[in-house]
Amino acid sequence: MVCFTYVFHCRMTETMTETITRRVVQQHHRGSFSWNRRPSPSKVCKFWLAGNCRKNPCRFAHTDVTAPVNRVLRLNRSSFRESHDPKKEENIRERKQNLSLKKKNEVKECHPEECEEKVTPCASADATTGDVDKSQCTKICEHWMKNSCVHGKDCKFLHSWCYGDGITMVAQLQGHNKAVTGITLPADSDKLFSGSKDGTVRVWNCHTGECIGVADVGSPVESLISEGPWVLAGLLNSVKVWNIQSNAEFTLSASAGQVYAMVAANGMLFAGAQDGSILVWKFNAETSSFDSISPLKGHMGGVVSLIYGANRLYSGSMDNTIRVWDLETMQCIHTLAKHSEVVMSVLCWEQYLISSSLDRTLKVWAATEAGELEVTYEHNEEHGILSLRGMHDAANKPIMLCSGNDNTVCLYELPSFVERGRIFSKQEVRGIHVGPAGLFFTGDGTGLVSVWRCSSDSTASSDKAA
């Protein structure tokens, strides 16, 4: 029994000695590597390869070998700490705070004069009076749009949502919280309708500008039109229909994807769909409803624009083409393939067809003696074109509204394409509708519906004189 106790005591003493020795060694290397890992001198230190290892001794090898170039380039040196000097780290934090504060002050105090390298000011101050002449200014002040411009009338950029003789804003209607994609004012009605990607159709009182009704249709509205007493909204796989006289409402169903565009002609409703087809319904006067008939097929991409003129239906598509349909035979008689991107809008004006695309071009088509359609004029824009609408001002002059993806709508006189003016918005304008007496309406990506008036040049001049 004594012998066993003696042997056990000796072994315990040896074990404790080994443990103490190992801990002494670990204490010596504690600042160099983790306690749970053993040194790997065969592995080259990546910090040493990057030239910033400060550990001595290091758990990895510092060998005089040439590492592969691509390995060295992959090292993110900014993620490594160059030093453990508290004073140096405090200096780094202080520099970062100063830089952040400087950037914040630059945003707050930014003025167009400081941005001359990016944008040339479009107005200059009179040498004697100091007043800023903005008669030739065509650039809106971005800080004014955000309610942050501190220079008021002395700013060299426009503090207005439009420029051009005879163009004035009448009202702004707020209610939608997503992009407005369609606006319509039914004939002989004092109610304006707007559809939005927020899944609602809103009704506005034209006299007060108040929203007097909201219809939740359950899916984003991509198009909105009216024909007589009918108001129609293009939805996913369906068209929602309201009769504002009888208060009847129903849904036209079709498994063709999103309905992007609609037009009514010859007692029929045409709807451009996501699958490339043009859905067709014929109005039934006996039942006061719409009967589905065979769709028009031919496009290889979604149909995003439709217009009717001279017993022809014109369709613009995501396949970059325009198709011309004879409504007597319901057949495609022409395919126009001069655009290189999506044909976003088509417009009939007198004997011409005008098309616009995301390829930044606006093309004017005319019929030849052989009956073909050829491009007779091409107008280039700096940005992609989203929508076209034609109207007449108060003096009955033809005007074309051209919406671009630079958040502007340009007004061109036809046929000269001379710019009449421009209106601005915070986001892209996709919904445009033309009303009576020089009125037109726009809906932008923020959900705002704006009411505008385009008067004649002479009217505008007399207003200014008064």
Residue 10 banded pLDDT, cuts 50, 70, 90: low
**pLDDT the model gives residue 437:** 84
pLDDT higher than 70, residue 295:
yes
Contacts 24+ apart (CB under 8 A), 49-54: 49/75, 50/75, 50/77, 50/80, 52/77, 52/80, 52/82, 54/82, 54/83, 54/84
**pLDDT the model gives residue 12:** 53
In the chain, where are the structural domains located? 37-65, 165-465
SS3 of residue 30 by DSSP: coil
pLDDT digits (tens, 9 = 90+) for 216-239: 999 999 999 999 999 999 999 999
pLDDT higher than 90, residue 346:
yes
> What letter would DSSP give residue 242?
E
For residues 29-58, b (16+ Cβ closer than 10 Å) or e, as one string? eeeebeeeeeeeeeebbbbbbeeeeeeeeb
Q: Identify how many contiguous H helices and E strands the chain contains and give both numbers.
A: 6, 31
Q: Which residues contact 169 (CB under 8 A, 6 or more apart)?
A: 161, 162, 423, 450, 451, 452
**pLDDT the model gives residue 203:** 96
Percentage above 70 pLDDT, the chain: 67
Question: Lowest-pLDDT range, 19-23, 91-95, 226-230, 411-415?
Answer: 19-23
**pLDDT the model gives residue 286:** 86
Residue 233 to residue 243: CA distance in whole angstroms: 12
CA distances to 252, 263, 297 from 294, rounded to whole Å, are 14, 16, 9
CATH code assigned to 165-465: 2.130.10.10
**pLDDT the model gives residue 115:** 39
Interior angle at CA 47, CA 43 and CA 51, nearest 5: 120
pLDDT digits (tens, 9 = 90+) for 383-395: 999 999 999 887 8
pLDDT digits (tens, 9 = 90+) for 193-224: 999 999 999 999 999 999 999 999 999 999 99
Residue 183 to residue 435: CA distance in whole angstroms: 10
Strand 352-357 to 343-349 pairing: antiparallel
